Amino acid sequence: MGLLVLWELVAKLGSWPPYLFPDPIEVARSMWRMIADGRLATAAVRSMARLMEGYLISVAIGVPLGIFIARVSLIRASLKPVVMGLQALPSICWLPLAILWFGLSDAAILFVVVMGSLLAIAIAAEDGVNSIQPQLLLVAGTLGIRGPRFYGGVLVPAALPGIVTGLKLGWSFAWRALMAGELLFVSGGLGQLLTAGRELLDVAQVVAVMIAIIAIGTATDRFLFQSIELRVRRRWGLLPAT
Amino acid sequence: MLVPFTGRNGLAKIALTRVGHRYNNDIEALKNVNLDIHAGEFVCLLGPSGCGKSTLLYALAGHFPPSGGHISIDGKTVEGPSPERLLMFQEAALFPWLTVKQNLKFALRAKGVSRRESERQAREFIKLVHLEGFSDVLPHQLSGGMRMRVSLARALSMDPAVLLMDEPFAPLDAQTRAHMHQLLQSIWMRTRKTVVFVTHNVREALVLGDRVVVMASRPGRILRDLEVRLPRPRDPDDEALVAMSRQIRDELRRAELAGEPLPPSASETRELESKTDDATQAAGTASDLPVGAAGPVGARR
């Protein structure tokens, strides 16, 4: 609340023209307009659908990849340096390559999203497997737990606290990569709504969309991932039980 | 009465022949270990840390092949871990995301027991270790002793041919440990499983074992193979048992001083002043244990 008052004051007293620095009332009005005519919802749904698609691909490849890097020395030796190296590359740097390969299409954005989150997920999954208590693997051996039952019943659950952290990290990386990708062409998502605001010199819309992006990102992180993470850590006995 | 073990008729269940092991750093963990263990025996491997008793147990479980000699169970050479020779650790090593009952059921299902049968057996073994009412509790909500009881229930439910225990009660407080000794004794008297139990606690070995195999270090080897003739259930404060533990501790100390395996005759003649060590204190604090039916020294059980 105090922040809003401060913002209002700065906007009113500052020497910037209102078309470059909107006051909160104007932003709220713009936000309301976008909600009322459904532009915001359409864009958000479009972005989320794209995000889900890319993210699920990342999870489906990243988690097994991380597990195999941790478990199979041949894969570790050959793939780990590659994964670690590519991880240093900001996801947006994949975009030129994506456009060359896929053109200005949904597939290009999807590719950027996948590349942005897959490696982080794989690295976290590998870490999760490596930090399993050796006792648990030993006891699984002595109890005769092998094969799919070992992977599904022991290895993945034992690594789950690490994997969930990776899923959370991967989600926020995917979200960033998506916004960067959507800025570049007529994509129909939130990113494009942002660009549209710039092109029309509608600074209130730009700020309103930024706020919407922050809100969506925070909400999924807080309400989805943090609660899952908390629940896993509590069940696994990594937090004091309430 | 403590008498040298002279062997038993019939085929040994577990046969260790000239087992030796050298780690990569060239430490000789085991040297020329020969040991026959028969079906239904409770054998304690006793010795100071570094005497190779755990190494021996892990080799027996099949977690690694010893660099020399031969280990067989029921006539078959040990190759790799198997639920037929189940190993229990110092930690309960329960799966933390599964409840007590789920932990048992998961192991039973992996063994191929049907869903309904595993439910029934899980209940039965939870009852055996007196944890009814804790079936749906997660491991981290239990005390250390209770976790160990779950671990014991899980191990027994697998119905292994041989149960191998690596100082499973060492991290517990003395009181809890005494309760575990009682529980394990009463379960063993009913089931007569073949058990190999590793410990560095002399009294623990005497309370639990039919045979106490005393080991010495550098290189890890068997010093004495003794038969414990005391009625069960045994009381750690029983006079005869205390006298035996003093005798064994003296021998261990002599072996340490000599640094050499002693000929059996020499150990009888020399007397050394006995000193209380941590093993006595640990077992001795459990003095409020209900006194068992301690019979005359030398009585057979």
Residue A181 is predicted with a pLDDT of 87
Phi, psi of B163 (to 5 degrees): -110, 125
Residue A193: the pLDDT is 87
Identity at B162, one-letter amino acid code: V
Which CATH architecture does the domain made up of A28-235 adopt? Orthogonal Bundle (1.10)
Instruction: Say if the Cβ atoms of A157 and B95 lie within 8 Å.
Output: yes
Closest C-alpha to B86, from A145, A154, A149, A153? A145
Q: Where are the domains of chain A?
A: 28-235
Q: What is the pLDDT confidence band of residue B260, given thresholds at 50, 70 and 90?
A: low
Query: How far does the CA of residue B198 sit from the closest CA of chain A (Å)?
Result: 17
Residues 6 or more apart in contact with residue A149 via CB below 8 angstroms: B109, B110
- Residue A71's CB is within 10 A of a number of other CB atoms, namely 14
- Whole-number pLDDT of residue B259: 62
Verify whether the Cβ–Cβ distance B93 to A141 is below 8 Å. no
A43 alpha-carbon distance from chain centroid:
17
Q: Can you tell me the distance from the alpha carbon of B4 to that of B267, in angstroms, rounded to the nearest whole number?
A: 12
CA angle A145, A150, A152 (to 5 degrees): 145
A239 in contact with B at a CB cutoff of 8 Å?
A: no
CA distance B115 to chain A (A): 15
Beta pairing partners, A9: none
How far apart CA A139 and CA B276 sit, in angstroms, is 35
A194-209: average pLDDT: 87
CB contact under 8 A, A136 and B110: no
pLDDT band at A10 (very low <50, low <70, confident <90, very high): confident
Domains of chain B plus CATH, in order, are 2-84+161-284 (3.40.50.300), 98-159 (no CATH)
CA end-to-end span of chain B, whole Å?
11
Residue from A139, A163, A232 to probe the interface with B (highest B Cβ count within 10 Å) = A139
- Is B80's pLDDT higher than 90? no
- Please check the confidence at residue A174 and state whether its pLDDT lies above 90: yes
Mean pLDDT (whole number) for B215-244: 87
Band (B107; pLDDT cuts 50, 70, 90): very high
The string of pLDDT tens digits covering residues B121-140 is 999 999 888 888 999 999 99
3-state helix, strand, coil in chain A (%, to 5): 80, 0, 20
CB within 8 Å of A68: residues ≥ 6 apart = A75
**Mean confidence (pLDDT) of chain B:** 81
The answer to whether B157 and B269 are in contact (CB under 8 A) is no
| Sheet order of strands, B85-88 included | B2-4, B221-228, B211-216, B42-46, B194-199, B162-166, B85-88
Would you mind telling me the total number of residues written for chain B in this entry? 301
ipTM above 0.85, yes or no: no
Q: Tokens 């030993």 correspond to what residue?
A: A138
State residue B278's pLDDT score: 40
**B216 or B100, greater pLDDT:** B100
- Separation CA A225–CA B164 (nearest Å): 42
Q: How many CA atoms lie within 13 A of B226 on its CB side?
A: 24
Using CB atoms within 10 Å of the CB of residue B48, give its burial: 0 to 12 exposed, 13 to 18 middle, 19+ buried.
middle
Cis peptide before A96 (omega within 30 of 0): no
Q: Do A237 and B140 touch (CB under 8 A)?
A: yes
Tokens of B161: 């041919």
Q: How far apart are the C-alpha atoms of A136 and A132, rounded to whole Å? A: 7
Query: Which residues of chain B neighbour A139 with C-beta distances below 8 Å?
Result: 87, 89, 93
Does residue A132 belong to the interface with chain B, where contact is any CB pair within 8 Å? no
Q: What angle do CA B247, B248, B251 make, to 5 degrees?
A: 90
Do residues B101 and B65 touch, judged by C-beta distance below 8 A?
A: no
